[in-house]
Chains A and B, each alone.
Chain A
Amino acid sequence: MPDKKQDLIDQTLQDLNNDGVDRRGFLKCMAWAGTGLVWTMSGGIPVSRAFAKGYGKDAGKGADFTFVQISDSHIGFNKPANPDVAATLQTAINKINAMPQKPDFIIHTGDLSQLSKPSEFDTLDQVLKGASAKQIFFVPGEHDMLSDNGEQYLQRYGKGTMGTGWSSFDHKGVHFVGLVNVANLKAGGMGSLGNEQLEWLENDLKGRSASTPIVLFAHIPLWTIYPDWGWGTDDSEQALSYVKRFGSVTVLNGHIHQIMQKVEGKVSFHTAMSTAFPQPAPGTAPSAGPMKVPADQLQRVLGITDVNYVVSGRSLAVVDSPLGDAGASASGTASTHLSVVDPIHG
């Protein structure tokens, strides 16, 4: 059985686009989780490089706009390795507020809460209120729809959305689509979008020019990372078939509490760190339960993601930064911030 698992990992992490991100390179990326990773896309060709010292200051410079992804806040979780998830979310917000280029908005890719409790959502709201970016878009994680089929989540965070909370919007020429793949999950399956949402997505994208950059975001990865742990979405192929004709597609997910990326044609997939607790790499632990790390290392495995977008180059640069930079004494969490910058040619 270990061989089968290894095969799956290799299959997932092989160098699909001859972009240097093979399994070994990928594991290196994982090691960078503590120091950050710059992810730049130019005409569908991804270039990744270490998050060099000082780069963070310039990240987003020259970008037409920047937005930030945060994920998996799990407000209400209080066990090792993080007894205070509100504090690490606060650190993430502080980090966002300190960004040189103010993000236009924030995307939260789900698992806002641990148990969908009103008090947990209240705490989340309280912390998010302090963010410099006032507009926040949400998609639910499975933890946000625990007891009431997501009714409370929808009331609080899903105003104006369709179905179980999906929606789309345009921002400065980029089309964003938030998808829900945590509702009505079937026994034995993984994440699921369902026919109603797929139909909606097809219609939503119909008639848009192929040169429109597309950003899809959802909680569970829209690519199969590790089926044994349910890290994938059963009907994501169908959804991805609708974006194939577009020149630039970025898929942002959470759920697995670690950075993973893959490029397939013009579609680039990316998962963000959690602001609450890390999870093990696929197959490296008996289960996907919270990974316990020493307190002084927690900030390195939590983070945010920046995305910078430059209209002229139609490219997105994704920068993951941990909450606590190496050597920093302040506590930190990770957020994902996406900014589009001038394409960096490798």
Chain B
Amino acid sequence: MTRKNMWVAGVATPVMIAMLLLFAVSPSVKASDQPSAANAAVKIDNFVFGPQTITVPVGTTVTWTNADDIPHTSVSTEGVFKSKVMDTDEKFSYTFTKAGTYPYYCTIHPKMTGKVVVQ
């Protein structure tokens, strides 16, 4: 073993482990300190928003994912948020910063409706 290699084994490895630990720990620290980092998911499947009503704390980012072979949108009935057209597997996210009830629908298939309740 050369001196250089020994340095790698003896010094670099602990440094790397420490860095990895730091990375592993930091997200959980963030999550507990800032509730705004909370996430929730709505899956669009078979022309249905699931769950149809989702209840989340203020500051939650809701992400819609389209699992259908047909494009859909997620648009607030009251003009609060408006997704672009989501083709298969495409996503749309919106962060809810105020409490309230937010009804929404798919503008392409208006029979598809859902609700986000922010508390």
Q: List residues of A whose CB falls within 8 A of some B CB.
A: 79-80, 114-116, 142-143, 146-147, 185-190, 227-230, 286-290
**12 A-B Cβ contacts within 8 A?**
A79-B69, A115-B87, A116-B85, A142-B108, A187-B105, A188-B105, A188-B113, A227-B111, A229-B111, A230-B109, A287-B46, A289-B47
Shortest CB-to-CB span from A1 to chain B, Å, is 14
In the complex, are the beta carbons of B47 and A147 less than 8 A apart?
no
Shortest CB-to-CB span from A147 to chain B, Å, is 6
Taken residue by residue from 76 to 119, chain B's Cβ proximity to chain A (1 for < 8 Å, 0 otherwise) reads as 01000000110110000000000000011101111101000000
In the complex, are the beta carbons of A187 and B77 less than 8 A apart?
yes
In the complex, are the beta carbons of B110 and A185 less than 8 A apart?
yes
Q: Which of B69, B85, B88, B113 contacts A187 (CB 8 A)?
A: B113
In the complex, are the beta carbons of B70 and A289 less than 8 A apart?
yes
Q: A116-B85, A187-B110, A230-B110 are in contact. List 14 more A-B contacts (CB 8 A).
A: A79-B88, A115-B87, A142-B108, A142-B109, A143-B71, A185-B110, A188-B111, A189-B111, A228-B111, A229-B47, A230-B111, A289-B69, A290-B69, A290-B70
In the complex, are the beta carbons of A114 and B111 less than 8 A apart?
no
For A290, what are the chain B residues with a Cβ–Cβ distance below 8 Å? Answer: 69-70
Contact (A187, B103) CB under 8 Å given A114-B71, A146-B85, A229-B47: yes
Q: Which of A114, A147, A186 contacts B84 (CB 8 A)?
A: A147
Interface class of chain A by DSSP: loop
Q: Which of A115, A190, A289 contacts B46 (CB 8 A)?
A: A289
Shortest CB-to-CB span from B46 to chain A, Å, is 4
* Residues of chain B at interface, number, CB under 8 A: 22
Report the separation of the CA atoms of residues A172 and B84 in the bound assembly, to the nearest whole angstrom: 44
In the complex, are the beta carbons of A190 and B71 less than 8 A apart?
no
Report the separation of the CA atoms of residues A17 and B105 in the bound assembly, to the nearest whole angstrom: 38
Report the separation of the CA atoms of residues A287 and B105 in the bound assembly, to the nearest whole angstrom: 16
For B71, what are the chain A residues with a Cβ–Cβ distance below 8 Å? Answer: 114-115, 143, 146
Report the separation of the CA atoms of residues A287 and B46 in the bound assembly, to the nearest whole angstrom: 5
For A80, what are the chain B residues with a Cβ–Cβ distance below 8 Å? Answer: 69
In the complex, are the beta carbons of B68 and A188 less than 8 A apart?
no
- Return the chain A residue nearest B84 by Cβ: A147
In the complex, are the beta carbons of A288 and B113 less than 8 A apart?
no
In the complex, are the beta carbons of A189 and B108 less than 8 A apart?
no
- Return the chain A residue nearest B48 by Cβ: A287
In the complex, are the beta carbons of B110 and A188 less than 8 A apart?
yes
For B85, what are the chain A residues with a Cβ–Cβ distance below 8 Å? Answer: 115-116, 146-147
In the complex, are the beta carbons of B107 and A185 less than 8 A apart?
yes
For B88, what are the chain A residues with a Cβ–Cβ distance below 8 Å? Answer: 79
**9 A-B pairs closest in CB distance:** A187-B105, A287-B46, A230-B111, A287-B47, A185-B110, A286-B46, A146-B85, A187-B77, A79-B69
In the complex, are the beta carbons of A289 and B68 less than 8 A apart?
yes
For A288, what are the chain B residues with a Cβ–Cβ distance below 8 Å? Answer: 47
- Return the chain A residue nearest B68 by Cβ: A289
- Return the chain A residue nearest B103 by Cβ: A187
In the complex, are the beta carbons of A190 and B110 less than 8 A apart?
yes
Shortest CB-to-CB span from A92 to chain B, Å, is 21
Report the separation of the CA atoms of residues A115 and B84 in the bound assembly, to the nearest whole angstrom: 11
Report the separation of the CA atoms of residues A227 and B85 in the bound assembly, to the nearest whole angstrom: 23
Report the separation of the CA atoms of residues A288 and B109 in the bound assembly, to the nearest whole angstrom: 10
For A147, what are the chain B residues with a Cβ–Cβ distance below 8 Å? Answer: 84-85
Shortest CB-to-CB span from B103 to chain A, Å, is 7
For A187, what are the chain B residues with a Cβ–Cβ distance below 8 Å? Answer: 77, 103-105, 110, 113
Report the separation of the CA atoms of residues A332 and B57 in the bound assembly, to the nearest whole angstrom: 54
- Return the chain A residue nearest B71 by Cβ: A115
The A-contacting residues of B in range 33-49, CB under 8 angstroms, are 46-48
